[in-house]
Structure 1
Amino acid sequence: MTGVSVELVPLVVAFVLSSMIGIEREMRHKVAGLRTHALVGMGAAMFMLISKYGFDDILDPGRVILNPSQLSGQIVTGIGFLGGGIIFVRHGSARGIITAASIWVVAAVGMAAGAGLYTLAVAGTIGELIITLAYTPVTERLRRNQDVVGELALTYRQGTGVLRQAMTELTRIGCTVEALSVLPTSDAADTVCVVLEVRGPTKMTEIATNLAQIPGVVAARTGPASNATYAH
């Protein structure tokens, strides 16, 4: 293989294989999905290529003057601590993984450029942009195909902040509200009934059970308001 092929072929293989693994993880709604796996796989390949080919100009044939690959290992370790500081977990949901993986790849791009592997650095940059930009609608489509869509009628007492808490809870469990309407209620005058069209990976009955635990909720019902399953 030519010099360019030696750099690009391993990078492309890592990109494709890590993406295949990421798709499987994405379809199972794992925290680290398609983009994270693709970024980490490509970044690891770049670090390996840098260690293999990035220091030829300071090595004599047949005699090692120094071990420059140690520098690569130290940078990888340092970036790992930086990425770990970006990731945080709240209510069982992790945030910042894509950013941490992106910073890791950016470090690899900088190392490649500093080592004079300009083709590798450019290719890594293009790959990172493809993952973070073009893969986003792909991940959304994969998740939407697996999501459950249903209606949820929520009756609650006014002035208790229930709707805000309900939206927060839906976001926490990975659901989105695609439509919202207010229905008249025959209950007490201080109650409100809203119908939410919810999309998410969780069954509507489980969502209703969770929302029914919010203080101020009178009832949470799945399905159309006129033919619903109640949760109190």
Structure 2
Amino acid sequence: MRIAEYIAVPPLFDTSSGQGVRQFVELGIALLLSSLVGLERELQQKSAGLRTHTLVGVGSALFMEVSIHGFNAVAGVPGVGLDPSRVAAQIVSGIGFIGGGLIFVRRDAVRGLTTAATIWLTCAVGMACGGGLPLLGVAATVVHFLVVRGFPVITKRMSVAPDVGPVELRLSYRTRRGLLGRVLELCTKRGFRVTDVHVEAEAEDRGDNRERGKIKEAGVVLSLEGKGSALPLVEELTHWEGVLGVGLRSHPDSTE
């Protein structure tokens, strides 16, 4: 007997075969919750923002809907075993590729870990909504905002020396005085880790022609991470001979 004789294929637009009002509502909830998470990441100017998180959440919910309702036509066919959890397991494995693409290492600093974890959480939220567990999806979304927005405030209050990094130290100085090496040594002694160094050298055409074209002045940007304030570091550098200017600002990158 052929397998086709056991299959009762429902009409293409049958709303009672897993594509009715309930499923559209579940997809809508996944859309809303994943958009909230993505909007928070977008406002923080992270590499994965509103669109990425929304697509991950809705896509995960749709996979769950297909896993639960998409194979009803072959249910009960001899020799065909259905396991709806298989699709869910593949979603969890597949989302790791997106998360891995968001994590990168620069020097000895790891970036994108929090955003990758958020993608993973958004996938779980979408799966919960698609699996008919929207309350769990809402709870997980609330947990996201609690962890990402609330925990940094708590850790800053608990820490004796709050982490101020990353910051950028901009320095202009006279060359051929060994200042750059001394500045790097000072930053290390003050407890800061130098994650990036960018030197911008420029020629000074003033003075005698024999000196023209030689590098007289240079600028350097140091990316620093560490505990405590970097303002004392700036104050000390302003008194160094050969240092022409010092600036400090928050670094646009972060470990999230």
The two structures have a TM-score, normalised by structure 2, of 0.40
Whose Rg is larger?
A: 2
The two structures have a TM-score, normalised by structure 1, of 0.44
Structure number with higher relative contact order (C-alpha < 8 Å, ≥ 6 residues apart): 2
